[in-house]
Amino acid sequence: MAMNLNAATRKWSTLAICCLAYTVLSIDLTALHLAIPQLVADLNPSATQILWIADGYGFALAALLITMGWLGDRIGRKKLLLTGVGLFAAASAITAYAHTPELLIGARVLLGVAGATIMPSCLSLVRNVFTDPKERTMAVGISSGVAGLGVGLGPVFGGALLDHFWWGSVFLINVPIMAVIFVLGSVALPESRDPRPGRLDVPSVLLSGAGIVGFVYTVKELAAEGWAPEYAVTGLAAVALLALFLRRQTRIASPLIDVRLFRLPAFSGSVGVNMFAMFALVAQSLVFAQYFQMVLGWSPWIAGVAGLPGALGAMAGGAALAPALITAIGRNRAIGVGMVLSAGSFVSYSFMGLDAHYWALMFPTMIFGGMGIGVAMTVTSDTILASVPKDRAGAAAAISETATELGGALGMALLGSVLNAAYRGGVEVPAGVTGPARDAVEDSLAGAFEAAGTLPSQLAGQAIAAARSAYVDGMHVTLYCSAVLALAAGVAAVFALRSVPKVIEAEDDERELVAA
């Protein structure tokens, strides 16, 4: 039971606890990528098992966000959050000591289930304790920025741990942190729930989970393997399942999501902009991971540190700049300004070549670009939460998180395809590179590095130089596409949210869900 804390202490304690939970989730997601080489050498999983180790977390998370958002509204967000924290700690320990690929896959799926309980619970708790609109916007900005910072810190912490310990250490570190969150949360978090909960509709759970997983799986496979008829089947099946899910929500007494929420321009417009903003943002992590390490030759740890200014800029933009811009120019224009800053950063990144010009070009661009995306994501997330009754905050937070997941998956698939196509169309393989080595160089930058090990040193150097040059050219094309997408999202926000007021006051649970 929570202690008798005053309102100010309770709300800022809630924000701190939720930020710590977000940080762990974000670090865990990115640290895995560094651990894969060591765990592959230790467990010797098959290629299919490696994919499930990498994707099992994301599939489980995406499949259950909507269901867990509803469940938090029904049984209590604090109760669900603490349950998820305990489950995440247990799954982290199992992951760290997994001795077979099958056990590791199961543990990763369990981590995804736990993550799906934590993410919407955190956002909805923040929504419920911060009733002042300006404070609420700042709190959402801080939590969003911390989540972004965690993504940047993943390679830093992961690299440091892997330099001294075995691969399981990047997961085992979660256990004491989650223990602290559980103890602090038990003491400080307030409980909140929907006072009129309904019954869980199992068919809705199955339809939403299968539809979202099918959609995410399809775009991931298209990005990795290219077009194939079976992906058309899975994609159409996923869309059909989601359509059935939405149709069912209009016909049952206790829906997982109230589709009437989408009649609210503030809600539906922000969800759409949120998804496409994440779509564009994915380009930065997609491009720079390989650019820092394979083009510039930096270590994973240095690459992680180099990417932190963007996350710090996002935190500053969300916490400080977003509330001021909302007051000065309104929510729709604030998002527009944020996306223009983001688009400008993508264009500025295109001046990077085989030399990054880190301090003169990249560092300031990361700061301003991060501020722009921090403003946009904070305003959309705050608008989504503020535009629905407090008793439905969990469902609204789950929809926001799901839109973010889908936007990230689409961005990774489509922008990754643009990058790969531009690379393959532009790489000039040296004449002396033939056979499988030539195919590898033509396929990707990573393939060129693998092929170089089979070539004479001089020819290997020429092949890597050609691959790096082609990658940089492909990176520029991808960044230009991202700039266009960011501008489009900004323009869409200006028009879609033009009727949304600057201040969205907290309203009672009886608010009618009608279009403005």
Map out the domains of the chain as residue ranges: 1-197, 201-253
Q: Which residues, including other chains, have CB under 8 Å from residue 10's CB and lie 6 or more apart?
A: 2, 129, 188, 190
What is the reported pLDDT for 122?
Answer: 87
| 3-class DSSP assignment, residue 504 | coil
Q: pLDDT averaged over consecutive 10-residue blocks of the chain (516 residues)?
A: 66 90 81 77 80 80 85 87 95 92 92 90 85 83 78 76 85 92 91 75 89 83 74 90 91 82 82 79 71 85 82 82 89 92 92 88 91 88 80 77 78 79 89 88 87 87 93 92 89 87 62 36
Predicted TM-score (pTM) of this structure: 0.82
Quickly tell me which residue has 């921090």 as its tokens.
374
10 Å Cβ neighbour count for 84?
27
Closest among 165, 179, 119, 171 to 405, alpha carbons compared: 119
10 Å Cβ neighbour count for 327?
14
Where does residue 257 rank: exposed (0-12), middle (13-18), buried (19+ CB within 10 A)? Answer: buried
Q: Which residues, including other chains, have CB under 8 Å from residue 433's CB and lie 6 or more apart?
A: 441, 451, 455, 459, 462, 463
CB 407 within 8 A of CB 279: yes
- What are the C-alpha distances in Å from 484 to residues 284, 297, 384? 14, 29, 24
What is the reported pLDDT for 477?
Answer: 92
Q: Which residues of 164-198 are buried (b: 16+ CB within 10 A; e: fewer)?
A: eeebbbbbbbbeebbeebbeebeebbbebbbeeee
What is the reported pLDDT for 512?
Answer: 38
The C-alpha atoms of residue 171 and residue 155 are separated, in whole angstroms, by 13
Quickly tell me which residue has 């650019």 as its tokens.
291
What is the reported pLDDT for 344?
Answer: 94
CB 19 within 8 A of CB 142: yes
CATH 3.30.300.90 fits 1-197, yes or no: no
10 Å Cβ neighbour count for 436?
12
CB 405 within 8 A of CB 65: yes
* Dihedral sign (CA 490, 494, 495, 498): positive
User: Tokens representing 290?
Assistant: 């390989």
What is the reported pLDDT for 515?
Answer: 34
What is the reported pLDDT for 508?
Answer: 45
**Count of H helices and E strands in the chain?**
19, 0
The C-alpha atoms of residue 117 and residue 297 are separated, in whole angstroms, by 39
